[in-house]
Amino acid sequence: QSALTQPASVSGSPGQSVTVSCTGTSSDVGAYNYVSWFQQHPGKAPKLMIYDVSNRPSGVSNRFSGSKSGNTASLTISGLQAEDEADYYCSSYTSSSTYVFGTGTKVTVL
């Protein structure tokens, strides 16, 4: 199972919106609505930001939103803030009843 493809980095100024893409195949992202997104600050455990493509866990800011089209999922961060600077990973359930993570994207707040 190959890792999902994410851009290595995206950046934006405070207040702007950025979108991180996550491209898989018809056996993972395209097959199920079981895509999640995680935020990871240096030296910390990942934190769930989005699950089931577009659902936000309690306590996660509504500046974070998720969507999916075909084999590509996307995470959008609106109203970018300094605290949003982190690594972001997507994950998808697969047709093999396993999970695959993305390659990771570093979001930089300029």
If one asks whether residue 64 binds other proteins (CB under 8 A), the answer comes out as no
Per CB under 8 A, the segment of 17-25, 35-43, 75-83 that binds other proteins is 35-43
Per CB under 8 A, the segment of 13-21, 76-84, 85-93 that binds other proteins is 85-93
Among 7, 46, 56, 106, binds other proteins (CB under 8 A): 46
If one asks whether residue 103 binds other proteins (CB under 8 A), the answer comes out as yes
Phi/psi of residue 82, nearest 5 degrees: -55, -35
Query: Among candidates 47, 12, 50, 48, which has minimal Cα distance to 33?
Result: 50
Q: Which is nearer to other proteins, 14 or 57 (CB)?
A: 57
Q: 62 with 17: CB under 8 angstroms?
A: no
List, as one string, the DSSP characters of 47-98: EEEEBTTTBPPTTS-TTEEEEEETTEEEEEE-S--GGG-EEEEEEEE-TTS-
Q: Which is nearer to other proteins, 16 or 55 (CB)?
A: 55
- Rule CB under 8 A: which residues touch other proteins? 1, 3, 32, 34-36, 38, 45-48, 51-52, 55, 57, 89, 91-93, 96-104
